[in-house]
Structure 1
Amino acid sequence: MTNITLQVEGMSCNHCVNSIEGAVKGLGASAKVDLSAKSVTVSYDESKISLEAIKETIEDQGYDVV
């Protein structure tokens, strides 16, 4: 498993947390959102999911991966 922390702009509430964590889980990965740090830590299997797919999924939820 690979772990990476992404800086994500636009998150402000529990809905944001649930939206991102749920979307990433749908890819087969796990995510932990830290609102105060404006970050998302993702754990994923590189042989099954690309980092680009994870970033796109988060952006599709309306947030900006910086």
Structure 2
Amino acid sequence: MITFEVKDMTCGHCVSMITKALKSVDSQAKFTIDQAKQLVMIDSTSADLKELQDAIADAGYSPVLVDHEISTASVQVKSCCSYQQ
């Protein structure tokens, strides 16, 4: 899940423009847009972070990355102390 804060998203038209922009880079993406909190949360399997961020920016908005959750299945964690994988 990728989360952007979009401070200049202020109305329903903004939400529509961002929705259109996201669908243009990944028509199958699942996303939630919280206009009140000015957050866009995206789960995409075919578009990467930069493509999604660029799509929002190209629509005229200023997305700032807040969170980027990556799959732990692909992360290698070194053992230390008592951590067990």
TM-score, normalized by length of structure 1?
0.83
Q: Which has the larger radius of gyration?
A: 2
- Please state if 1:25 is matched with 2:23: yes
Measured after TM superposition, the shift of residue 23 of structure 1 is 1.1
TM-score, normalized by length of structure 2?
0.66
Higher strand fraction (1 or 2): 1
Measured after TM superposition, the shift of residue 31 of structure 1 is 2.7
Percent identity, aligned pairs only, is 32
**Deviation >4 Å, runs of 4+:** none
Gaps of at least 5 residues in structure 2 are 65-85
Q: Which amino acid aligns with 1:20?
A: I
The number of residues matched between the two structures is 62
SS in 2 for 1:41: strand
Query: RMSD across aligned C-alpha pairs, in angstroms?
Result: 1.1
